[in-house]
Amino acid sequence: MRHPDVDQAGVTPDVDVIIVGAGFAGLYALYRFRKLGLRVRAFEAGSGIGGTWFWNRYPGARCDVDSLEYSYSFSDDLQQEWDWPDRFSTQADILRYIHHVADRFDLRRDIQLDTRVQSAAFDASGNLWRITTAEGQTTTARFCVMATGNLSLPRVPDFAGLESFKGDWHHTGRWPNRPVDFTGRRVGVIGTGSSGIQLIPIIAQQASELIVFQRTANFTLPARNRALSADERDRHKTRYGFWRAEAQNTPFGIAGHPAPTKNALDDTAEARLAKFEEKWRNGGSISFLYSYKDLLTSKAANDTAAEFVRGKIRSTVKDPATAELLVPKDHPIGARRLCLDTGYYETFNRPNVKLVDTKSAPIVAITETGVQTAAATYALDTIVFATGFDAITGALADIDIRGRDGLTLRQKWAHGPRTYLGLMTAGFPNLFIVTGPGSPSVKANMVCAIEQHLNWIAGCVAMLDARGSRTIEPDADAETRWIEHVNETADATLYPLAESWYTGANVPGKPRVFMPYVGGYHRYKAICEEVVRDGYRGFVISGLPTLAV
Ligand code: N01
């Protein structure tokens, strides 16, 4: 549906909606807006669709949410016809699925690849967004949807001398689209977050020598990945509607894990141990964190789970000094992203693998021949940077986004991101952010969070068109109150006790603000629905009175 006022204002936008990004969010946005009869175009910086799953092709890249959950729910035909081979999908399988979705719903014709959006400016005279690409192409639209992802701007730390390195180097988040052979090579991996923990066991099997540079030890649990049987898949599919509905009522947007009923200290030490053992044996992170109600809110409860995993590390890693370095001691378990692995701790028992502590002796430079720390020099043929991302806000800050009166998003968010519901930010009308800061985003099943956000956004756009309203943006007070709520919610948990990319701590100079909403996906969704029921409470809609929060 075209907006009736647009032509009256003398400005005809090129399209109704511009979508930035063609990953899980961008593709569903295309599908959803087309259903409204709108003219849509998506710009994607990559040479292919898939977002995260296009860029993160490093060996061992795999999802840590069960495949049957980490997939679109909007089409029953789609979920019935697709067969996931593994419990936790490989990057290759997820990308294959994304391509299938794009073909099945004929999405490609509105996606422009190899197109990096450089700026997005709101033109108040015509109420439209003007999007300019790195190649200088300009397109106008009534609405701009940032489907730019939470982990899409990779970070290579600013080590002196990287340009002098004579070997090869790669970042996990920009992995080449060809096999990288480590056979017989001396490899250094810098970083031991989820990406490093997945690729280290695989590189160790190929490299002649593997040096792992660890600054902070992370907790990781066995994934226990396995092939899904046809029978298992079929049983799930017969009740897919039930599982999808159940996921909507859970804190992480993931079904199949009965909610815990007890606090950790309500159980005896023996019962706790038995529970943790069972979870460890079955694999997965959500199920482990679901052992007890209070693992993420009570330090004493959390200590019991953390100590259990520390014991597992010490009993797996044969060299006691290496084991002690691998044991996380500075944060509660789950307060940083809880990693899943296949044979991570066992890898340090291999004779060709060495762990180097870069907390006590930091990396001071990359040299022509390898890595130099404050204590030693390591000769390497290949360096892998598993050093993470400028998360959640990075991809947005990378675009020159200007709202009313030339206000830039970078200026507005200089002291931390400010949004209402993680969906919109005051002063930037008709600019929607998919899984933005202040929404559950990375603390939920991303596909579920993406669908929820885009359903809300599509409903909002349909409402505006039905009412003949041209703009929507948050009321500044509603935004402030939402940020306060996001902070209070985080402060009631153990998350702020960890230095992590959730708080921007991994990027020097980035404001320290806890960015995701951790009140639970189910509660968040209920709030979003309530806001709509209350006439878009807290939003300023042109031509309509604003309802206070
Ligand atoms: O990045 P990270 P990631 N000197 O930021 C180290 C998702 N994901 O790509 O902890 C030395 O977690 C840094 O050290 P420290 C998932 O949400 C999901 O691994 O800052 N070291 C850390 O060890 C995940 O959380 C999946 O002290 C430096 C590492 O680099 C998110 O992506 C798989 C350094 C970065 O870890 C990011 O994970 C992969 C420096 N200057 C990713 N700078 C699954 O679904 C950084 N480091 C399973």
| Distance of CA 82 from the midpoint of ligand 1 (Å) | 31
Rounded to an integer, the average pLDDT of 208-229 is: 98
Q: Please tell me which residue, 108 or 544, carries the higher pLDDT value.
A: 108
Q: Look at residue 220 and tell me if it is in a domain.
A: no
Ligand 1: nearest atom to the Cα of 505:
20
Residue with tokens 């800061």: 437
| Distance of CA 380 from the midpoint of ligand 1 (Å) | 21
What does the angle CA 462 – CA 250 – CA 226 come to, to the nearest 5 degrees?
110
Rounded to an integer, the average pLDDT of 385-403 is: 98
Pocket lined around ligand 1, Cβ cut-off 6 Å: 62-64, 151, 157, 172, 190-196, 198, 215-216, 337, 340, 358, 363, 386-389, 442, 501, 506
Residue 7 has pLDDT above 60, yes or no: no
Ligand 1: nearest atom to the Cα of 172:
9
Q: Would you state the pLDDT for residue 16?
A: 98
Q: Are 531 and 538 a contacting pair, CB within 8 Å?
A: yes
Q: Look at residue 134 and tell me if it is in a domain.
A: yes
Give percent above pLDDT 70 in the chain. Answer: 97
Residue 215 has pLDDT above 90, yes or no: yes
| Distance of CA 506 from the midpoint of ligand 1 (Å) | 9
Q: Look at residue 82 and tell me if it is in a domain.
A: yes
Rounded to an integer, the average pLDDT of 65-71 is: 97
Ligand 1: nearest atom to the Cα of 387:
30
Q: Are 452 and 528 a contacting pair, CB within 8 Å?
A: yes
For ligand 1, pick from 387, 435, 447 the residue to mutate: most ligand atoms within 8 Å of CB: 387
By residue range, what is the domain housing residue 407?
Answer: 15-153+391-469
CATH number at residue 56: 3.50.50.60
Q: Look at residue 234 and tell me if it is in a domain.
A: no
Q: Which of 8-17, 201-210, 341-350, 400-409 has the lowest mean pLDDT?
A: 8-17
Q: Would you state the pLDDT for residue 546?
A: 62
Question: What is the Cα–Cα distance from 136 to 118, expressed in whole angstroms?
Answer: 9
- The per-residue pLDDT for range 342-364, each reduced to its tens digit, is 999 999 999 999 999 999 999 99
Residue 545 has pLDDT above 80, yes or no: no
Dihedral pair phi/psi, residue 119, rounded to 5°? -145, 155
Q: Look at residue 85 and tell me if it is in a domain.
A: yes
| Distance of CA 500 from the midpoint of ligand 1 (Å) | 9
| Distance of CA 169 from the midpoint of ligand 1 (Å) | 17
Q: Would you state the pLDDT for residue 548?
A: 61
Q: Look at residue 68 and tell me if it is in a domain.
A: yes
For ligand 1, pick from 506, 510, 512, 515 the residue to mutate: most ligand atoms within 8 Å of CB: 506
Question: What is the Cα–Cα distance from 549 to 490, expressed in whole angstroms?
Answer: 21
Rounded to an integer, the average pLDDT of 263-290 is: 97
Domain count, the chain: 1
Rounded to an integer, the average pLDDT of 182-200 is: 98
Q: Look at residue 176 and tell me if it is in a domain.
A: no
Averaged confidence pLDDT in the chain: 96
Residue 1 has pLDDT above 50, yes or no: no
Q: Look at residue 360 and tell me if it is in a domain.
A: no
Residue with tokens 């959803």: 32
Q: Are 417 and 400 a contacting pair, CB within 8 Å?
A: no
Q: Would you state the pLDDT for residue 544?
A: 63
| Distance of CA 112 from the midpoint of ligand 1 (Å) | 30
For ligand 1, pick from 55, 151, 445, 495 the residue to mutate: most ligand atoms within 8 Å of CB: 151
- The per-residue pLDDT for range 473-513, each reduced to its tens digit, is 999 999 999 999 999 999 999 999 999 999 999 999 999 99
